[in-house]
Amino acid sequence: MKFVDQVRIEVKAGDGGRGCVSFLREKFIPKGGPDGGDGGDGGNVYFIVDESLSTLLDYRYLHHCKARNGAPGLGKTKHGKNGESLELRVPQGTLVYDDETNELLVDLTEVGEPLLFLPGGQGGRGNARFATSTNRAPRHAQPGVAGEHKSLRLELKLLADIGLVGLPNAGKSTLISSLSAAKPKIADYPFTTLVPNLGVVPYSGYKTMVIADIPGLIAGASEGQGLGTRFLRHVERTDLFLHLVDTSCMQEGDPLDNFEMINDELSRYDESLTGKPQIVVLTKIDVPEVREQVALLTKHFASLGHLVFAVSAVTGEGLKELVTALGNELDRLRGT
């Protein structure tokens, strides 16, 4: 399935049906009087959070979304049929912006009842409504009220408990595939991960946590380098970061400098991200030259106040301890 996390759509509620101008014409009923019915109301537009969806792909080529118009009124004071409402199903975590003003209109994070977004136009009144003692044969009716229209931008921010950050090829995809049933693409070249991946990890009995793996960051990511800020929005809602540090020959530069660079890019994108707690994970310790550096790096990151774990996603070493620590940290942050 193609991952789509931003789309632009035109949304319009249904127009109200026009009222009817009619007079009763039946045998033996002379001067039957006005009997024009009211027009039907236009359909509403609703947003519904659907837990089975994980992308905005449905709206990638559906640019115009319109509820049905109300039917016009009929003679014999028959009310026109109300227009059918439109339900827009979106994944949890969808932000709805006014595309013209860039105003955030609604943040769709709660699964539940449909949210009324645009009300349909009211149907016009028929001429039967305007009959009075002084105007017994009104020859006018109301047109229906036009439904509201908006140009929208939908953006998806994945809802996850933990966000994986690090350089390309730091081992994020391998780790999430070892901890969960997620099956991201894994290869020995940079930017193997081109879209975010979610993995559900069980811990402490029946509890679970959701981990988000986003494409690797490089220097200048906050200014659009590499995959830039395209996917950084997906870690904004996380409770904590799992910062993966790779000291193998796959990475260039000093691992400590790389660690600071990633944090600097997160800060440039959104300063609030630097306030999130981080757990440092030293990856690929099944490689001998990496294992030799574990003690020194652990001491350094611990001095900065970070919990540090050394793991091998290939052999499974250290994964159980890491999952336990992540569960305890999440419970602490949530006060549970």
Question: Model confidence over 236-287: pLDDT tens digits?
Answer: 888 888 898 887 765 666 888 888 888 888 888 888 888 888 999 998 888 8
Compute the distance between CA of residue 211 and CA of residue 216 in angstroms, rounded to an integer.
15
Whichever domain contains 313, its CATH number is: 3.40.50.300
Beta bridge partners of 6: 155
Q: Are residues 115 and 133 in the same domain?
A: yes
Single residue among 156, 176, 192 that ends a domain in this structure: 156
Compute the distance between CA of residue 326 and CA of residue 243 in angstroms, rounded to an integer.
12
Compute the distance between CA of residue 227 and CA of residue 280 in angstroms, rounded to an integer.
23
135-180: pLDDT as tens digits? 988 999 999 999 999 999 999 887 788 888 888 777 787 888 888 7
Q: Are residues 314 and 179 in the same domain?
A: yes
Compute the distance between CA of residue 202 and CA of residue 200 in angstroms, rounded to an integer.
7
- Domains contained in the chain, number: 2
Q: Are residues 71 and 206 in the same domain?
A: no
3-state class of 287 per DSSP? coil
pTM, entire model: 0.74
Q: Are residues 30 and 132 in the same domain?
A: yes
Q: Are residues 243 and 276 in the same domain?
A: yes
Q: Are residues 100 and 243 in the same domain?
A: no
Q: By C-alpha distance, which of 59, 148, 62, 48 is closest to 106?
A: 48
**Domain range enclosing 307:** 162-334
Q: How far is CA 197 from the centre of its chain?
A: 14
Single residue among 117, 137, 156 that ends a domain in this structure: 156
Single residue among 135, 156, 177 that ends a domain in this structure: 156
Whichever domain contains 77, its CATH number is: 2.70.210.12
The tokens 């200048």 sit on which residue? Answer: 220
Q: Are residues 107 and 172 in the same domain?
A: no
277-313: pLDDT as tens digits? 899 999 888 888 888 888 899 999 899 888 999 988 8
Is 127:22 a contact under the CB 8 Å cutoff?
A: yes
Compute the distance between CA of residue 331 and CA of residue 266 in angstroms, rounded to an integer.
24
Compute the distance between CA of residue 210 and CA of residue 208 in angstroms, rounded to an integer.
7
16-75: pLDDT as tens digits? 999 999 998 888 887 788 999 999 999 999 999 998 887 888 898 888 999 999 999 999
Compute the distance between CA of residue 286 and CA of residue 289 in angstroms, rounded to an integer.
9
Q: Are residues 217 and 302 in the same domain?
A: yes
